[in-house]
Amino acid sequence: MNGAHYVRGDFMSDHEGVRRRDVLKGLGVTGAAVGIATTAAPPALTEAQAQAAPHAHTHPPERNGESANIFRYFTPPEAAVIVALVDTLIPKDDVGPGGVEVGVPIFIDRELAGAYGRGARMFLNGPFGEGTPQQGYQLPLPPADLYRVGIADLNAWCARTRDGKTFDQLSTADRTAALKALEAGQAEFRQIPSRTFFGILLQNTMEGYFADPIYGGNRNSAVWAMIGFPGAIGMYADLIEQYRNKQYVAAPKSIQDLS
Amino acid sequence: MSTKLKAADIVIVGLGWTGGILAKELADTGLSIVVLERGKPRDTNPDFMYPNIHDELKYAQRHELMQDVSRETLTFRNNSGQTALPMRQLGSFLPGEGVGGAGVHWNGVTWRWLPWDHEPEKMTLARYGKSAIPQDMQLQDWGVSYDELEPYYDKFEYLCGVAGKAGNLAGNKIDGGNVFEGSRKREYPNPPMIQSYPGQLFEKAARSLGYHPFPGPSANMSQPYINPDGVAFGACHYCGYCERFGCEVNAKASAHFTVIPLAAAKKNVEIRTDSRVMKVNLDAAQKRAESVTYLDAAGREFEQPGGLVVLAAYALGNVHLMLLSRIGKPYDPVAGSGVVGRNYAYQIGSGANVFFDEKTWMNPFMGSGALSMNIDDFNTGSFDHLKEGFIGGGGISTPSAGGRPIGFRPVPPGTPAWGTDWKRAVVRHYNHTLAINNQGSVMGYRQNYLDLDPTYRDRYGRPLMRMTFDFQPNEQKQANFLADVCVKIGEAMGGERVARRGAPQRYSIVPYQSTHNTGGAVLGTDPTRSALNPFSQTWDVSNVFVTGACAFPQNAGKNPTGPVAALALRTADSIKRYLKNPGPLVPA
């Protein structure tokens, strides 16, 4: 059953792009610049061909680690704010890894650069009205636009209330206080409700922290190891009885580990 | 614009459990059958292969296998005084899309609904009298009793290889099974699954309180299985990736590898995917369906004539198509007239989370979608619910459905949602917590209904369906009463802390609750209160049959797939009767 090496379309298109580029570089093809849109990768080489290429495994891409840290969607000032936000929501501490070190800002960036960010599966027809909380999200903005507007609003609100500073320029204590105000809906944003921005930020931060590492967060499955989740492996028919009320320790396995 | 195609004898709309069952059962007639499915073709290989299928972000968070609401959605409001607004992303419920429908990403929980659920009006009147029924509650019977449906429940359980233990075999009550279930003619086809530690804790605690715990009926295979049609199933791995995922080893019964290939192998059955039905076309007198109009993947419009049309889409999709096609009179809650859209219902949830010490290990990731321990002591019809001030009840269970960490991160109330204290709590409680859930029934009400939205249109220019729904005091009393029972069980388990989850104040379309939408085109014996006669035939257009949870006049305290499939099997028999002598099976 371990034969599924193909890469699916749809949401996974970003990762397909990364893998193609890395493979191409491993082959000595250097035309694809690192860190730009996935469409820059030449589309001619199929995944099957790439995997069959003789040097793909013997010459691992040297700059792989660097490309993984280049933002695609966020501008540098936006990226600085996202890194500061994630670092405040999930700091590095004595409990376990921080959101930034396991790649959560890159996860959010990759999500926003793809189908999710464009709201590909959202209903975005008008007219738009302000509903009740029970009616859910009603803004005309798909996630990528919501972040762009939200970061601008956040920085403007910080500047108004905190001596002209953007969020990433605040002290740790001020960042925490600011996020608590957003969470409570007490920060007055100019364009969108601050609580709406906080909601999607928290959701995506948690997704990146706990999702399979193939999406750019939870690097080295470090978050799964922290909580004791064995990851994508899922073979417990012979273990569920044996480990009743016993600790089960296993190094977490990601989809890539099992592929 | 529209290309008119060669006529088929039978046109089936939708290819999930119900469409698959009908295609397979009706194929034996030798008549020409065309099945139209709006989504993509899908199969276990390659679509659900390991390890890629074990991807929580893609399937559970981004809804890869579910309805794409950018194309079709609905509008929602809590009451008719509000303006309905679109459901702009999936949340509260997750209809399927593509071959196999929602039956691909279900958990596999395969109940028979209790006898009361089929005849609540009759049983309530007999026990309590008419004054017991709240004035706005539209309590009504199916016109099909549990006993009439029993052979079809049985057939579906063997089709699916359901693992379980009988509690009522031909009237004999059996300890360890569900003693509150209706009488069944034979045992389940497979023995119960291996119970988890949380399930054992639940069983012991429930028994200590005098309740009657039993393992949940599971269409996740407790052992390899070959069904009566010769379809082979693999044994469950207890991988914890059932709900919202497909199963890579065919250990979770699904239509795409059981009934659908059997139907597709027949020469007289043609399945067309990427075929999105826009409406059913009636004759001038609106008495007969002549064809359906659909769009293919390229957006080209086709007219498919048919002698008989079966609506077998998701519950909400069937009602939408009936409203768009003017099949039956739309329900008007003010006048109290009309039937299509009437008695839309949902379920109400409550329960308790039990937090244990760090020496008690739950291993929440070891599990399967339908692995659970349950009691029905407080379910519909099992106890004197009127004494507690409400009509209905709920099933109480501790599931072990998986511990995928984006969705499963239990922390005690009062824990911050982020920061170091949050992280400490997640690490502390991830492996040391279990849930006790009430799945509460919801009755039909005059003010809860479906109709067409006056403002919003889908990508194809059709009016969206409008959902008007809120929880009513009867259901909130029930959910609070059952939450108290959950707390009692939790306290008997010996955890450090039990956190009660009471009834929700208002229904919200935002957080996931359950994909158990019912009603809108309900069965019944009275054409002024039901859209369908007891044979699933529309009262007004005798060559249109409708099957699915839309046919249930009220919602139960149990998952609906069992009765949905049983009713589809019965509908196939009713259609065969109709084909011998076309016309209304019940005089209107």
Burial class of residue B580, CB neighbours in 10 A (0-12, 13-18, 19+) = exposed
> Residue A201 is inside which H or E element, if any?
helix A194-210
* In contact, B106 and B561? CB cutoff 8 Å: yes
- As given in the structure block, the two tokens for residue B367 are 């599990």
% of chain B exceeding 90 in pLDDT: 99
Q: Which domain holds residue A216?
A: 76-220
Is position A133 within any domain? yes
Count of domains forming chain A: 2
Residues A85 and A63 in one domain: no
How confident is the model over B141-161, as a mean pLDDT?
98
Q: Please judge whether A223 and B424 are an interchain contact, meaning their C-beta atoms are less than 8 angstroms apart.
A: no
Do the chains contact at A235 and B239, CB–CB below 8 Å?
Answer: yes
What is the rounded distance in angstroms from the CA atom of residue A227 to the CA atom of residue B558?
Answer: 32
| B91-120 b/e (C-beta count within 10 Å ≥ 16 → b) | bbbbbbbbbbbbbbbbbbbbbbbbbbbbbb
Same-domain check for residues A117 and A198: yes
Residue B498 DSSP symbol: E
Of residues B51, B62, B249, nearest to A259 (C-beta): B51
A28/A137 same-domain check: no
**pLDDT band (50, 70, 90) for residue A68:** confident
- On whether both A132 and A158 belong to a single domain, the answer is yes
A190-221: buried (b, 16+ CB within 10 Å) or exposed (e) per residue?
Answer: eebbbbbbbbbbbebbbbbbbbbbbbbbbbeb
Residue A113, in any domain of the structure: yes
What is residue A142's predicted lDDT score, i.e. its pLDDT? 98
Rounded Cα–Cα distance for residues A248 and A229 (Å): 9
* A6 to B46: CB separation less than 8 angstroms, yes or no: yes
Instruction: Give the β-pairing of B269-272 and B33-36.
Output: parallel
Task: Tell whether A170 is covered by a domain.
Answer: yes
Q: How close is the nearest chain A Cα to the Cα of B337, in Å?
A: 27
Rounded-to-10 torsion of CA B520, B523, B526, B532: 80
Question: A231 is written with which tokens?
Answer: 């990851």
* Nearest residue of chain B to residue A216 (CA atoms): B57
- Report yes or no on A245 lying in a domain: no
In this complex, the residue of B248, B363, B419 whose CB is nearest that of residue A248 is B363
Residue A1 lies in a domain: no
Distance from CA of B395 to the nearest CA of A (A): 25
The arithmetic mean of pLDDT across residues B344-370, rounded, is 98
- In chain A, % of residues over pLDDT 90: 73
Tokens of A241: 């009885």
Query: A100 with A108: CB under 8 angstroms?
Result: no
Per-residue confidence (pLDDT) for residue A67, from 0 to 100: 65
Residue A249 lies in a domain: no
The number of C-alpha atoms within 13 Å of A125 and in the hemisphere containing its C-beta is 21
Range list of H helices, B15-145: 17-27, 44-47, 102-105, 115-118, 120-128
Break chain B down into helix, strand, coil percent, rounded to 5.
25, 25, 50
* Cα–Cα distance measured from residue B331 to residue B416, given in angstroms and rounded to the nearest whole number: 46
Banded model confidence at residue B587, pLDDT cuts 50, 70, 90: confident
Residue A116 to residue B62, Cβ atoms within 8 A? yes
> Does A158 lie in the same domain as A55?
no
Distance CA A248, CA A234 (A): 13
**What's at B120, amino acid-wise?**
P
| Predicted confidence (pLDDT) per residue in B414-453, tens digit | 999 999 999 999 999 999 999 999 999 999 999 999 999 9
Residues A122 and A189 in one domain: yes
Indicate if A184 and A127 belong to the same structural domain: yes
Cα separation, A250 vs A228, in Å, equals: 8
Closest CA to B29 of B14, B6, B12, B4: B12
By annotation, the residues of B acting in catalysis are 516
pLDDT at residue A18, as a whole number: 34
The pTM of the whole model exceeds 0.80:
yes
Shared domain check, A101 and A210: yes
Return the pLDDT at A14: 34
pLDDT at A2 over 70: no
Q: Where are the beta strands (DSSP E) in A29-72?
A: none
pLDDT band of A5, cuts 50, 70, 90: very low
Nearest to B366 among A2, A214, A236 (CB): A236
pLDDT of residue B1: 78
Number of A/B CB contacts below 8 angstroms equals 202
The per-residue pLDDT for range A218-234, each reduced to its tens digit, is 999 999 999 999 999 99
pLDDT digits (tens, 9 = 90+) for B252-266: 999 999 999 999 999
Residue contact A227–B76, C-beta within 8 A: no
- Of B434, B376, B448, B445, which is closest to residue B401 (Cα–Cα)? B434
Decide if pLDDT at A47 tops 80: no
| Of B272, B282, B295, nearest in space to B324 by CA | B282
The 10s digit of each residue's pLDDT in B73-127 is 999 999 999 999 999 999 999 999 999 999 999 999 999 999 999 999 999 999 9
Same domain, yes or no: A80 and A54: no
Give the separation between CA B133 and CA B474, rounded to whole angstroms.
Answer: 10
Task: Say if residue B178's pLDDT is above 70.
Answer: yes
Q: How confident is the model at residue A8 (pLDDT cuts 50, 70, 90)?
A: very low
Compute the mean pLDDT over every residue in chain A, rounded to the nearest whole number.
Answer: 81
Q: Which of A122, A237, A247 sits opposite B88 (nearest CB)?
A: A122
Same domain, A93 and A196: yes
Asked whether the beta carbons of B12 and B34 are under 8 A apart, the reply is: yes
- pLDDT of B4 > 70? The answer is yes
Same domain for A153 and A133: yes
What does the pLDDT average to over A107-114? 98
**Which pLDDT value is given to residue A66?**
54
pLDDT surpasses 70 at A28? no
Q: State how far the alpha carbon of B469 is from the alpha carbons of B132, B375, B451, in Å.
A: 23, 28, 12
Structure tokens at A216: 């750019």
Reported ipTM: the value is 0.97
Domain annotation covers residue A242: no
**Rounded mean pLDDT, A112-140:** 97
Closest CA to B347 of B247, B448, B270, B273: B448
Domains and CATH numbers, chain B: 1-141+253-347+443-470+515-588 (3.50.50.60), 195-250+349-440+471-506 (no CATH)
Nearest CA in chain B to A227: B427
Do A48 and A114 fall into the same domain? Answer: no
Say what the pLDDT of residue B456 is.
Answer: 98
Nearest CA in chain A to B425: A95
In sequence order, the 6+-apart residues with CB closer than 8 A to the CB of B556 are B113, B114, B117, B380, B441
Q: Between vectors from CA B40 to CA B36 and to CA B42, what angle results, nearest 5°?
A: 110
**Residue A237: inside a domain, yes or no?**
no
pLDDT tens string B508-539: 999 999 999 999 999 999 999 999 999 999 99
- How do residues B307-356 score in pLDDT, each as one tens digit? 999 999 999 999 999 999 999 999 999 999 999 999 999 999 999 999 99
> In angstroms, rounded to a whole number, what is the distance separating the alpha carbons of residues A94 and B426?
14
Phi/psi-derived region of residue A150, left when phi > 0, alpha when psi is between -120 and 50, beta in every other case: alpha
Direct distance between the N- and C-terminal alpha carbons of chain B, in angstroms, rounded to an integer: 37
